[in-house]
Amino acid sequence: MSASEPASFHGTTILSVRKAGKVVLAGDGQVSFGQTVLKSNARKVRPLGSKGTVIAGFAGATADAMTLFERLEAKLESYPDQLTRAAVELAKDWRTDRFLRRLEAMMIVADARVTLLLTGTGDVVEPESGVAAIGSGGNYALAAARALIDTDLSAEQVARKAMKIAAEICVYTNDAVTLASLDAPDAP
């Protein structure tokens, strides 16, 4: 990083695993600014909505993510028990609103029925194979979770093991993992 470039927030790893009647969201705890670790135990995964029936995790600037969490919670109030609809409405706003367009974050959100990856370019993607990941260590966690998904490990065990592997590879990911889970029916 040169002296003229501002330091930027890097990294995180958020992983979602859906298996055997459970959906688990895992996030590491590291917050980095340039080459400095500012915090090692941040909570990047949390329940959303008044009933806690949605779990969400973010990668990107913290203030931007909190803004998006608040906006998604408002959409969930407008469209109760309709996560996909709420996510699409948020993605529309995120892409078209002058203020929201500048937010730098990605999100994974899940309820009992669906897991979605949301981006500022208007993407609302339902992942294949019950696994999704974002952030600088996301591809490492995703590959590990895909390799482990067909084993006898539970959704939580897959998530923990995949996050451990990502933390061993990605310098912007640590092993201070926060988990959130929901009971979820298996896909047909």
**pLDDT tens digits, residue range 107-134?**
999 999 999 999 878 889 999 889 999 9
Is 115 one of the catalytic residues?
Answer: no
pLDDT(6) > 60: no
pTM: 0.89
pLDDT digits (tens, 9 = 90+) for 15-58: 999 999 999 999 999 988 888 888 999 999 999 977 889 999 99
Please report how the helices 138-148 and 155-169 are oriented relative to each other, as an axis angle in degrees rounded to 10.
Answer: 140
Q: Catalytic residue, from 12, 115, 173, 178: name it.
A: 12
Spatial distance between the Cα atoms of 167 and 173, rounded to a whole number of angstroms: 5
pLDDT digits (tens, 9 = 90+) for 66-86: 888 899 999 999 999 999 999
- Do residues 158 and 16 lie in contact, with contact meaning Cβ atoms separated by under 8 Å? no
- Do residues 7 and 1 lie in contact, with contact meaning Cβ atoms separated by under 8 Å? yes
Residue 137, both tokens:
């260590």
- Enumerate domains of the chain plus CATH numbers: 9-179 (3.60.20.10)
